[in-house]
Amino acid sequence: MKEKEIKKLLNKFNAGKCSAEELEMLKTLMQEIEQDNDIPIQTHQLKKQIWDKIEDDLNGYQKLRRLNTAWLKVAAAILITTVAGIFFSRLLKKPNSETLQVAYQTITAPRGEMQEIVLSDSTVVHLNAASSIKFPVAFNGKKRELSLLEGEAYFEVRHDAKRPFLVHTGKVTTQVLGTAFNIKFYKDLPDLQVFVNSGKVEVHDQAHTLGMYTPQQLLTYNKLKQSFVRGNVSDDHLLSWMHGDLILDNVSFREIAVYLENRYNVNFKDTGKKDTRQRYSVRFSNKLTIRQVVDILQLIDGRKYQLKGNNLTIK
């Protein structure tokens, strides 16, 4: 109820023109501010007298009588100013959570570039090339939530025991309090991966809890089958994209292509036939040019590669 409406209601009460429904509204208003410590003691005492009068009018309501008692008019006049103002200020202090607008920002690291983002809680996010993240400009609620829309990101989460940190990636959510972990979520790849570098994370999808994960543990989640595998990783190859070399161990050729497309801003076009079950282990230095990478791929893959501009055709 707005301040203007509250004043109007109290004025009608003072004039003795309130309907039964309006008396009920006034009664509700009185109940809501009953425990408000900002109201002076004198006003509380006057409010009690008016409260008793409202109860009498409601209990014996036929036709509302005009209020002729002098003290009642004075008390109501005081309430018009004091109670309405305090009630309105309380509404300002407690905005309706359903109508509260949250401002979001989406950042995408372009192909060939990585970006570092510092969130409002001092959490640091390292975005791999061609990766997108959506996050609130400020974390105001009981949870800190954001979404990794596409790609790969490494999170160094600022510890806050009262507000857990949640990362949504499709149907999977990773929750922490304060830790460092990597999420790989490429739409062109069948698996989502969560790798914990320090601390502890809990992962779940829409139907199941996928467990707690501690340092050097890896979750591999198949997005289509909604199944997962827990593994242990003895090195930091999964974080190599952040450093000088790109190390991919026991991966599909499609995964190699995704990383190289994003790193060098090229487009792979595979026109030949290849056993999709074959796995590869490769290591590429960041100092290599795309033509040098193509030469290495031809050696390990046995097929012919043709690079024209940003298009790489495999025959």
The CATH number that applies at residue 301 is: 3.55.50.30
Model confidence pLDDT, tens digit, residues 39-51: 444 444 445 555 5
Question: What's the CATH code of the domain at 230?
Answer: 2.60.120.1440
- Indicate whether 136 and 84 sit together in one domain: no
Average confidence (pLDDT) per 10 residues, the chain, 315 residues: 62 70 66 49 48 55 43 50 51 47 91 95 96 95 95 96 95 94 96 96 93 96 95 87 88 93 92 76 91 91 89 90
Which of 203, 237, 271 lies at the terminal end of a domain, its last residue? 237
- Indicate whether 163 and 56 sit together in one domain: no
Q: Would residue 99 count as lying in a domain?
A: no
- The C-alpha torsion from 4 through 8 and 13 to 16, rounded to 10°, is 170
Which of 237, 264, 282 lies at the terminal end of a domain, its last residue? 237
Round to whole Å and give the CA distance between 77 and 174: 56
**For the chain, what is the radius of gyration of the CA atoms?**
32
Round to whole Å and give the CA distance between 41 and 49: 13
Residue 148: beta bridge partners? 133
Model confidence pLDDT, tens digit, residues 195-229: 999 999 999 999 889 999 999 999 999 999 999 99
pTM surpassing 0.75?
no
Neighbours of 84 (CB within 10 A): 23
Residue ranges making up the domain that contains 249: 244-314
Question: What is the model's pLDDT at position 100?
Answer: 55
* Neighbouring residues of 4: CB distance < 8 A, sequence distance ≥ 6: none
Residue 40: beta bridge partners? none
pLDDT more than 70, % of the chain:
69
* 152 contacts 128 by C-beta, under 8 angstroms: yes
Which of 93, 127, 148 lies at the terminal end of a domain, its last residue? 93
**Total structural domains within the chain:** 3
The tokens of 44 are what? Answer: 């509380």
Question: What is the model's pLDDT at position 29?
Answer: 63
- Indicate whether 162 and 185 sit together in one domain: yes
Q: Would residue 8 count as lying in a domain?
A: yes
- Indicate whether 82 and 109 sit together in one domain: no
Q: Would residue 98 count as lying in a domain?
A: no
- Indicate whether 121 and 232 sit together in one domain: yes
Neighbours of 274 (CB within 10 A): 13
Q: Would residue 11 count as lying in a domain?
A: yes
Residues in the chain, overall count = 315
Q: Would residue 66 count as lying in a domain?
A: yes
